[in-house]
Amino acid sequence: MPTPLERVRAKVAAQKTALPALYGDVDFDATPERFTDDPKASVAPHLARKGGLDPDKVALIKAYTMLGDVVADAYAALMPKYGFRPLIQMLTTACDAGIEAVPDAPPELAAFIADMERAPDWVDMDLVREGQRLDRNAAANLGPFAIRGAFIATFMNKYAALPMALTGTLSNDTAARRVNETATFFTTTLLPGSLERHGAGFRAAAMVRLMHSMVRFNALKRSDRWDVRVYGIPIPQVDQMPAGLIPIFLMSYKIVAQGRKTFTADERARVELARYRCFLLGLPEDLLADTPQGVVDTMNARSGTLRAGFDDATCGELVRATLNAYLPPDERPENRLFDKVERRFSKVFFLRNFMNGDLAAARRMGVEIGPRDFMMFGLVALLVTSQLMAYRFARNVPGVSDLADAHLVAKLKRQLKRYGHAEFTSDAEKYRPAGTAKPAAA
């Protein structure tokens, strides 16, 4: 019987024969420059001083660095035949009404939907629903202030950030749309019933998954800036972990530091939600650990094997575009005020959660943080913390808990209106023209 690692390697190699039009030219036996087995050369050199990395996790991360999304990639590869918009329309119909509602549905779409409908053996949907209920508090009260800072964190490495640069996100308007789309996705998946088969969160996950596959197709086939020998596969499975599991990573790090080995009941529910949401996005179950130490080890293996590199033409421009983006839907005075407050808060949030408080490192990335930013962060943090505590208290009061949750749901729905309609698309016509910036040095 093959080992888990052998199964992953076989799955990676199978991409070449399953999708020759997309992956036929890729050498899956080669190790891309982005991967390093020397922690001192990685984005997390401190891991070398902490006893190194779990070798089994490192082997899995290396394999998954070359894996896309088998079923979604096959569907996205139909773009030359069907066109960009028809693929999106068919997927939307299949999510809302079932595959049988799509006339002459291509088998690739049927396989895509079937893969998402497949319930993993480990999932407990009651826990997922409880996780949604618990996460609504932070999403409603902290989310609008923190989303920009969390989004910036995805641009800290040139190897992982290039796909976003290729999609044209270097403009302020496009950056604002991407930030709001990200906020829309995570907010939508917290609404009651949203992750059920015909829920809005299920559909949003399918659209994000297709968008990622469209990026892979366009980067590999329609851009001369993508070098597989340097960057590997665009948006590999390992690069989706941070975005999908950031809150769980941060929580697990704290739990391990406290010496605990298990999650509490509430923590377990939040983990179940995050794992199932990532499953819907196509992440392999090997990367979805279910213990605090497992989560930490998996993330450390990814960080410890990602080669360090900050290319100002890619990372720097993405950071600046995101910082300069105006996120509110209009220029009303209250929205302009929120924009000023949120920008200051998000910069310090980014500094504290993703830069270990290193002001100099943040400045090198283009994130300038001054006394007024810290002052605003403190004021907003005080307000947000009081709101979070109030809802946590209400959750434990019989007769008040349901009312408080209904209030949070209503607040999240208002936020969704502010974020605007999310397209979750990647149109090749909007890609940054090939050759407009010098590729990262090998």
31 residue type, one letter: T
Averaged pLDDT, 224-239: 91
Averaged pLDDT, 112-131: 96
Q: Helix 143-152 vs helix 401-419: angle between axes, to the nearest 10 degrees?
A: 50
Instruction: Centre a 10 Å sphere on the Cβ of residue 277 and count the other Cβ atoms it contains.
Output: 27
State the pLDDT at residue 49. Answer: 60
Whether residue 92 is predicted with pLDDT greater than 60 in this model: the reply is yes
Least-confidence region, from 47-56, 286-295, 344-353, 369-378: 47-56
State the pLDDT at residue 440. Answer: 32
Q: Nearest 5°: phi and psi at 41?
A: -95, 0
Whether residue 388 is predicted with pLDDT greater than 80 in this model: the reply is yes
State the pLDDT at residue 46. Answer: 78
Averaged pLDDT, 165-172: 67
Q: Is the full-model pTM beyond 0.85?
A: yes
Mean pLDDT of all residues in the chain?
A: 90
Rounded CA gap, 324 and 176, in Å? 9
Rounded CA gap, 148 and 25, in Å? 37
State the pLDDT at residue 51. Answer: 65
Averaged pLDDT, 350-373: 90
Averaged pLDDT, 127-131: 97
pLDDT tens per residue, range 422-435 = 655 544 444 343 33
Rounded CA gap, 406 and 428, in Å? 41
State the pLDDT at residue 420. Answer: 85
Rounded (10°) CA dihedral 376, 316, 433, 18 = -100
